[in-house]
A = this chain, B = another copy of it.
Amino acid sequence: MATVPLITDEAAGAQARAVFDDIREKRNTDYVNNFWRALAADPTLLKLTWERVQQVMSPGALDPLVKELIYVAVSAANGCSYCVHSHTAAARAKGMTPEQHGELLQVIALANHTNALANALQVEVDARFRAD
């Protein structure tokens, strides 16, 4: 399923093709995954998104694997099937162990448990938690 066609290399315009080639080079693979081929319907958005992924997910004050774990957790909360699949695979490629995946699932389950309770109880925020 998809609401737009997946753009092949042949059908891609110059800007989209350049992003596809850059994905292959940076990731050292021949494969361009479906998200990018769907996004190529709007080459500007494709380029912007690919650039941001590279900037944001690169090493910094947080480890790239930690960033992927955060990404998986957000994607599960948003019910984004594609994103959960692709970023779980990315986390494994960056070294996520089964034990780390298990603990990620534990934190996800607990956070949704307490989020739901706090939303049902509508607890007022304690003054000490405010930064202002």
**Which residues of chain A have a CB within 8 Å of any CB of chain B?**
1-6, 31, 33-35, 38-39, 41-42, 44-45, 48-49, 52-53, 56-57, 60-62, 66-67, 69-86, 88-89, 97-126, 128-132
Contacts and interface: CB of A to CB of B under 8 A. Distances in A.
A41 to B, nearest CB: 7
A115 B75 contact: yes
B132 A74 contact: no
A122 B81 contact: yes
Contacts of A3: 84-85, 88-89, 120-122, 129-131
Contacts of A117: 35, 39, 45, 49, 105, 108-109
A11 B8 CA distance: 40
A66 to B, nearest CB: 5
